[in-house]
A = this chain, B = another copy of it.
């Protein structure tokens, strides 16, 4: 995602939702130190949806030699953040829950996929699944979002 890929948008007529989702990610990712530092990659983005991956590194292992739950959570949480901000309206997490289904091991490549289940008023609910490279389910995450003031990219709106 380089700078030249930035969408040619006209605030007057509005931007189509898919272009808006891609532009939002391009604006958010470079200032998201956390997701970058953990080596997360954005695979796919669409309005209300996102798909991301992360390699389980040795510095992510806990005392049981499996991936610390906090990093599995962080991957799901970032995926949730990109999905719920994909309409260019600043949105934060109000709460999240995660169920750990199977352990993730060193060098696993985890893929998180976020889907919007509900969006009404300022609040939304998103389901994120985390699978490993063999398609095995590792965790189920549910995020509750809350829209705050402002836009990710000021002045850019979705076409009506």
Bound Cα distance from A78 to B69, whole angstroms: 9
Cβ contact within 8 Å between B69 and A70: no
Query: Chain B residues near A73 (CB, 8 Å)?
Result: 70, 73-74, 77, 96
Cβ contact within 8 Å between A118 and B90: no
Bound Cα distance from A69 to B146, whole angstroms: 14
Q: How large is the interface on A (under 10, 10 to 19, 20 to 34, 35 or more residues)?
A: 35 or more
A160: Cβ under 8 A from any B Cβ: no
List which A19-37 residues lie within 8 A (CB) of chain B: 27-29, 31-35, 37
Per-residue CB contact flags for chain A residues 88-126 toward chain B (1 = under 8 Å, else 0) read: 001011111111111100000000000001101001010
Question: 13 interchain pairs (CB within 8 A)?
Answer: A28-B63, A32-B62, A33-B61, A34-B60, A34-B61, A63-B85, A73-B74, A92-B100, A95-B99, A99-B118, A117-B137, A125-B140, A140-B142
